[in-house]
Amino acid sequence: MSNLSRRSFLKGAAAVSLAAAASGVLAGCSVSDIPGLTGGVTVVGAKTGAFVIKAEGEGEDEVITVAVTDAQNYEYFTNLLVKAHITNGLAEDELSVVETKTSSGYEIEPSVKLLGEEEVEAGMAEENAVKCDAIAAGKSGDAEFLINTGIKGWQAIELTLTLTHDGTEVEGAEPIVFTFRK
């Protein structure tokens, strides 16, 4: 058996890593390794729609890329910049649409729940405790949600991103759920 050079070894290792990563993407990877985020991605098939996600960044600011494939296999990407700030009793998380390419009529609809210690939904003591704006998937712009942190008994914010088309949830496209912990 001949000795492998360092370069040959690294080439082989890179090829194996690439193959392993590709198989993970096809299987529907978890995003639980993203700092500050827990959750998962469900790939439901190219004919009914699919979500794929990755993140870049450090600390409190994470850039999340959501790639959605619709029934016609038309793929578009939405970059959401998630920034967490606590000011005057309000946690402000901005979802900024950095770049989008899409068929018309699609939106990514965010919704938020406050979770208590037992991972159950915390009671909303005040009106307008959670405010969400839809993220138009065909336009650039900003959407944000505000959470009133003065409400007692919550430990985490659960953010759900749902793909809609002309105001209706896309059949078979499972929502993506993230949890931001205190």
Q: Provide mean pLDDT across the span 39-63.
A: 36
pLDDT mean across residues, the chain: 48
Residue 169's pLDDT is 77
Q: Provide mean pLDDT across the span 92-115.
A: 55
Q: Which of 123, 106, 115 is nearest to 173 (CA)?
A: 106
Contact 83, 116 (CB under 8 A): no
* Signed CA dihedral, 5, 6, 7, 10: sign only: positive
Contact 132, 108 (CB under 8 A): no
Burial call 135-154: b when 16+ CB within 10 Å, e when fewer: bbbeeeeebebbbbbebeeb
* 49-63, 91-105, 118-132, 166-180: segment of lowest average pLDDT: 49-63
Contact 78, 65 (CB under 8 A): yes
Proportion of the chain above pLDDT 90, given as a percent = 0
Contact 133, 144 (CB under 8 A): yes
Q: Provide mean pLDDT across the span 55-72.
A: 44
* 36-45, 97-106, 127-136: segment of lowest average pLDDT: 36-45
Q: Provide mean pLDDT across the span 75-86.
A: 44
Q: Which of 43, 81, 79 is nearest to 61 (CA)?
A: 81
Q: Is 151 helix (H, G, I), strand (E, B) or coil?
A: coil
Residue 171's pLDDT is 67
Instruction: Give the span between the Cα atoms of 60 and 180, in whole angstroms.
Output: 10
